[in-house]
Structure 1
């Protein structure tokens, strides 16, 4: 653990969960590197990816916005999604700007770096790969479903997910960040379509396994139809381990607050329900379990309480620093 200077945190994931988490963490004196999935193929991101043959910008855009330090109107403009009757319909302005910068600079990563300067981003935002990748799922019946946006709607149970092309190179900056990290955070986010696509980039997964940093998994609050139907917390962990061929999670953060029945009823329409935290099974896997009230409600949906989760994560770092000083 680094005694002097800011402790280094690497956060791995994608989707809404990652952005919510980062809004809380950026308020602490830490050096943040976010490694973000680029397997999204739906909506505006998918259209840009297919037309320009670049990595999907959507999750990157959300993370840049979450870590930005600009006037709220600038962030709102960056996140604005057009609702028109022409080809602009459905596109996010931020996605278009990232695509334009990629065209101007000739490189997706360079575009992200330039956008980070414009948005005064706190930390580094890195794609899991600097190339277009496709996520596939092998179902339990042996069929293959291709495309991140299609996998949850296949109506079948996932056996495993994998990426193409076969050779995918991570960014050297991502490898360096993992090697020098004091804390590695995985999640929250869709298990098969936001978290695993990062860890399946070969060298990223290997470096996470080999890292001596404390590794924390933030478990989802609700199950997800088409991905984790009826999954317990340990089922989430087991799925990650099965794909990684190593057991690397030191600590899991789980919620111990009751989800109100009216919220549960709303989620029933999506075949989702609160994740059961099977603590005994988690502990048998050698994982420290942190229980806390970490949920909040936004527009009728459940989200992780960004301030509470960030405080817990920073306390883990603080504890490590103190132990290493003694």
Structure 2
């Protein structure tokens, strides 16, 4: 009897949003490929990137930890960040291990593969490119801000983002995963600094536009100062479509759960507010909108409910095609 093939899901993102989603998905019987940004230039990742001339390992490290199936203490060790020590302070052990493995194997992608074996990772983790990229933002006043970590602090409204160098090549495995996918998931995560740096890698955006898979965007729950101040749901979607140059989303997932007033007030101090749901505009464009209570609160921090979102995505991947 022929074995049933696992549904194939490609998730594109970075930052804190992608690991949150993956922690729920790894418990399901699906073939996961996570495509992770390599535009980070701040903190430990930025230091290793500059000093060792390697792609920034931080976002990849967080995704590996989220998909790992080992003792919690091993994951805690991998994620440990040194608080002091000359030259060591601020670095996470996982970043240093990935940097060491890149040196040993001579290749960042090989380092990720070897670390995936050690951590018993459920699925495959692929950087959007096998070398560092620089993210730039053109502001509405025409000014250019360079560097992923600097863009949110420019104090200006973003018109568009773009990458250098222009001759970035995605991995063949990434292209193959997108072509074979049953479902492609974009987000959640910082719109301009975590999600778009993946989609702007030449060929990745084109392949996503052309892919036969259903494409889903998980909209952020809160706006982000310096990136999406006062953005509505349709503003997020418009930015994605404008940058991609194609109308590619089939489904948008929106939170309709209430956020406690005290948490809203705390976020308001950072100029963040709940993303306004104007998704009826998307329905008019033929995009299916799914509204659900998908918000959770970990230590007063707003996150997507990983189990709920995973179940929702699974229902999309297993649903029969609409007639």
Q: Same fold (TM over 0.5)?
A: yes
Segments of structure 2 that go 5 or more residues without pairing to the other structure are: none
Counterpart of 1:269? Answer: 269
Q: For each residue in 1:88-111, what CA deviation from the matched residue of structure 2 results, as whole angstroms up to 9, or x when unmatched?
A: 000000000000000000000000
Counterpart of 2:164? Answer: 164
1:4 CA displacement? 3.4
Correspondence 1:288 to 2:267? no
**How many angstroms apart in 2 are the aligned matches of 1:278 and 1:288?**
13
Correspondence 1:109 to 2:109? yes
Counterpart of 1:119? Answer: 119
**How many angstroms apart in 2 are the aligned matches of 1:99 and 1:279?**
43
Counterpart of 1:34? Answer: 34
**How many angstroms apart in 2 are the aligned matches of 1:238 and 1:163?**
19
Counterpart of 1:248? Answer: 248
Counterpart of 2:184? Answer: 184
**How many angstroms apart in 2 are the aligned matches of 1:303 and 1:292?**
14
Q: Trace 1:62-73 onto structure 2 (pairs within 5 A).
A: 62-73=62-73
Correspondence 1:201 to 2:168? no
1:277 CA displacement? 1.1
**How many angstroms apart in 1 are the aligned matches of 2:87 and 2:269?**
32
Counterpart of 2:23? Answer: 23
Poorly superposed stretches of 4+, deviation over 2 Å: none
Counterpart of 2:260? Answer: 260
Q: Secondary structure at the match of 1:15?
A: coil
Q: For each residue in 1:249-307, what CA deviation from the matched residue of structure 2 results, as whole angstroms up to 9, or x when unmatched?
A: 00001011111110100001100000011022111222100011000001111100000
Q: Secondary structure at the match of 2:16?
A: helix
Counterpart of 1:76? Answer: 76
1:230 CA displacement? 0.2
Counterpart of 2:227? Answer: 227
**How many angstroms apart in 2 are the aligned matches of 1:163 and 1:6?**
34
The alignment's C-alpha RMSD in Å is 1.2
Q: Secondary structure at the match of 1:9?
A: strand
Q: Secondary structure at the match of 1:137?
A: strand
**How many angstroms apart in 2 are the aligned matches of 1:259 and 1:282?**
23
1:62 CA displacement? 0.2
Q: Secondary structure at the match of 1:33?
A: strand
1:85 CA displacement? 4.0
Q: For each residue in 1:45-93, what CA deviation from the matched residue of structure 2 results, as whole angstroms up to 9, or x when unmatched?
A: 0000011111110000000000000000000000000000410000000
Counterpart of 1:95? Answer: 95
| TM-score after normalising by structure 2 | 0.98
**How many angstroms apart in 2 are the aligned matches of 1:173 and 1:67?**
18
Q: Secondary structure at the match of 1:100?
A: helix
**How many angstroms apart in 1 are the aligned matches of 2:130 and 2:50?**
15
Q: Secondary structure at the match of 1:297?
A: strand
**How many angstroms apart in 2 are the aligned matches of 1:231 and 1:283?**
18
| TM-score after normalising by structure 1 | 0.97
**How many angstroms apart in 2 are the aligned matches of 1:157 and 1:231?**
11
Segments of structure 1 that go 5 or more residues without pairing to the other structure are: none
Counterpart of 1:301? Answer: 301
The number of aligned residues is 321
**How many angstroms apart in 2 are the aligned matches of 1:34 and 1:134?**
20
**How many angstroms apart in 1 are the aligned matches of 2:5 and 2:135?**
38
**How many angstroms apart in 2 are the aligned matches of 1:126 and 1:279?**
32
**How many angstroms apart in 2 are the aligned matches of 1:57 and 1:296?**
27
